[in-house]
Structure 1
Amino acid sequence: MDYNFNEIQREKVLIVGVDLNSRDEIDINITMEELKELVYAAEGEVIESIMQKRNRIDAAFYIGKGKAEEIALYCEELDIDTVVFDNQLSGAQIKNLENIIQRKIIDRTNLILDIFAKRATTKEGKLQVELAQLKYTLPRLIGLGKALSRTGAGIGTRGPGEKKLEIDRRHILSRITEIKNQLKAIEGVRKMKRNQRIKSQIPLVALVGYTNAGKSTIFNELIKSHDEYNDEKKVFAHDMLFATLDTTLRKCQLPSGQNYLLIDTVGFVSKLPTQLVEAFKGTLEEVLYADLIVHVMDVTSKDYELQKETTLKILKQMGATDKPILTVYNKLDKYDNCVKTLYTEDYVYISAVKGTNMDLLQELIKKKLYGNYYKVKLVIPFDKGDISSYLFNNTKIISTSYVEAGTEFLVELDEKDYNRFKKYIKEE
């Protein structure tokens, strides 16, 4: 997909956050900076930001009527198109705020849904986004009247769900049921493919991590190792939040000859809407079947701890914490601090853009997937062509020759294949 980011007419946006002084709350400065990036990803431009300290949220106006009137003046003065709030708003709050501010009011969840709607390209991705949009809209119908009437009016109004936004509750519920049935059918196809993959015994590696950590760039570098690679197999990579959305699966090959499958997943973000986690559960659950999780982190990010905590929290929610995890600290080319140890068995520092230490990453993936290696001679009978074919496609073969009993291989085997083909080992 070709995106042209240079000719976008960006909406003028004012962002609003509330600091509740709670120990459980993420630092508001971090989430507001992230909100700014989300607005940019949604084709908006943040003109001004407002942060307010409160002991509790105002039930009617979220920020209080007085602050809403103050924001209305800001919007008039700065010619603001849209006001984006850092947390979820109720339908009543949206209605009350729009009445005072006289601008389009959306919240963080609606903003993220909007980005997802713009980026989804597969049928499944579009259905998942529409389902999340409808679930978000349903309890807010009373407050979304003005916004919903602005069909095609930019941020917060586009996507697969936009043509459904003015239908009544009964029709929304009917559409939700219809989408769930379609997704169930797609899940059946995915389950069948997954079972075939499991039978093939090719290991699966899942890339996970915060949005814009560089997963897609790493993905594109790793898949170049396979014989079947061409440019059409690459995924879109761009330096912005949620540049890619749809989950992609491709073949990779280790330098030692073994094949593995690599899956690129949607990036995580703090305060990820519940509707999205639910809607994308079918796609994200592929991580549960991975033999290895590669957790990608942006080593240059000042929000390093938040990103790490968010990703591990979502993996825990998914029940994927029992999987072996390899941590990849990406964007080493932009990192100013000295790194004393570039890699251990559990982590590695790389620059996917520059190709730095990608060989180390491949080596660590091999160790995590296959463990110890054995160099052995195997004699495979001529009538066991399926075994010979497996060795050619999935192992590092040093040499082959033909003897009376069959094909003789000098080959490197991982522990699993060593035990599997032990009876064919030629004793010296």
Structure 2
Amino acid sequence: MTLADSPALTQDRATAGSRPQRQPLAGRTALVSASETARMRTLGRELAAAGRRIANMAAGELDTPLAAPVRRAAIAAIEAGHNRYTDTSGLPDLRSAIAGLVAEKTGLAWTPAGISVTAGAKQALFNAAMTLIDPGCEVLIPCPYWTTFPTQIRIAGGRPVALDTTATGYLPTPAMIRAAITPATRMIVLNTPNNPTGRVYDAGLLDQIATIARDHDLWILFDECYGALVPAPAVHINLLRLRPDLRDRVVLVDSFSKSCAMTGWRIGYLAAPEPVIRAASAFQSHTASNPNVIAQHAVLAALTTGRAELDAFQADIRTLLAANRALALDILAGLDRVPVRPGEGGFYLYLDLGRLIGRRFADGSPVTDADAVAERLLGEAGVASVPGGAFGDPRGLRLSYAIDGDDLATGLRALVATLNRIA
């Protein structure tokens, strides 16, 4: 008798029709959809691999070689046989080096006990959400927002509350924040420099938001992953340097993905009050176990023996991005009906397509939303972008200018011609 002929399985088949049908997926999967930024980035790469010339402005990463001290240290770590588990929250020496880095940014003393190394900033944000948000809690998020923020809040059982900034220059106002606070509000998310708009929050705005958070006993999740990529004259300000009195309610999230051109290595960190770090580390111990060990050794070297070289690398990146930004704005000035918000930091430009919605493409089909425009740009202009629906704004379009200058110029000229043909 084979296993397939066993009496137990035969009985199961006989009674299967009388049982309630099993649902194939857990209910929480309805809260999550695949990242639109990842989809458009991948689609652009697939078309390029098939032979089309694509200006891939959907990718949220630098089109540059890896920072040299990171590369050398990674090779050395492999040769040295560093292939074992590390502490859940990262190598002690790396946590110490990051504590020093955070001390520089905040002007406050930090110890490794306040640091957790994570598999990119995305895991740091997830750990923070699972640690700080109870079911039913509300979290305020300025909109347009990075698509992962509301998704992770929903996974944690919370309710994201979008603050529409499209009429206020893509910056939240103290008035709109106060109006959105309810007894269920637990936290506010601040992302500066902002993804997708590139806006950088100034000291006055940060100070007002900090006071609101203190008065209403709110946590602040401060995501500064693009903080190292702010060219003059704009200045990125760490919230705790401005308001050290909020140290017990601020959670800092940062990443080495952008600043070291190592997005695929997945290495970031959480800096927070020690009880938060202990709880977040407990969650991490049951998910990732520990961050990538080679990436940890590579970043450790970049922050210690390679720090001067890393600083020079980042200065060169800011110079390159400033040149690309100027080129992009010069070409986009040719747009007829599309305002361009020149973000101060990061490497994104954000287009407001509101005046195109309801018009028609050159072939007569309607312009329904930014998704339709993004599809048309990819098909006709060879430009991969990310439509604003991914960011809670159906009228917006995000363009990354962190790509090769020739591809950037060619792609943007084709984009301008395509959008200007909309009747």
TM-score > 0.5 by shorter chain:
no
More strand by share: 1
TM-score (norm 2): 0.27
TM-score (norm 1): 0.27
Higher relative contact order (CA 8 A, sep 6+): 2
Work out which of the two has the higher radius of gyration on C-alpha atoms and give 1 or 2: 1
